[in-house]
Amino acid sequence: MVSVVEKIILNRLTESEMRKAMKTQKEILKWLQANLGRRCTAPLTSTDCYALVTSVNLCNLIGYSSAPPELFVAYGAIVRQMQPHTRGLAYHAIACELDWPHRDMIWDLARLADEDKPKCKCAFEN
């Protein structure tokens, strides 16, 4: 049985396009460090990193509020696998793939807690 997420991925991207479109852990961590400071990624465990990379790559599918609700549920479930004090990095990392305003839209539609949003701003944030 193919899940809704798999159907969406399979219908939108070929395998080679998917590989090109996927952000690597190295790219995401480098982006976060450039925007939040060199040591911002220090508290991440391997589980946090896997969840972070998965959440960022899922953002390609949920860039619009009209995306299937299951994708927002999946995003929320993935971010909740991170330690509570590192979840703010997932919030900022949305802008690694999309635009700054997408962060609040995705966070809210994924029903993630406001207290997990970071208090700090990225260096280039408007």
- CA pair distance 72, 62, nearest whole angstrom: 7
- Residue 126's pLDDT is 57
- CA pair distance 117, 119, nearest whole angstrom: 7
In a domain, 100, yes or no: yes
- Which residue, among 93, 63, 95, 98, has the nearest Cα to 79 in the 3D structure? 93
In a domain, 89, yes or no: yes
- Residue 18's pLDDT is 56
In a domain, 5, yes or no: no
Residue ranges of the chain with per-residue pLDDT less than 70: 1-21, 123-126
**CA distances, 6 to each of 58, 71, 92, 103 (Å):** 11, 10, 25, 23
In a domain, 93, yes or no: yes
- Residue 108's pLDDT is 93
Task: Quote the pTM value.
Answer: 0.79
In a domain, 38, yes or no: yes
In a domain, 8, yes or no: no
- Residue 29's pLDDT is 93
In a domain, 90, yes or no: yes
Number of domains in the chain: 1
In a domain, 65, yes or no: yes
- Residue 87's pLDDT is 95
103-106: long-range contacts, CB 8 A cutoff, minimum separation 24: 105/65, 106/59, 106/62, 106/72, 106/75
Q: Which residues span the domain enclosing 96?
A: 22-116
- Residue 54's pLDDT is 94
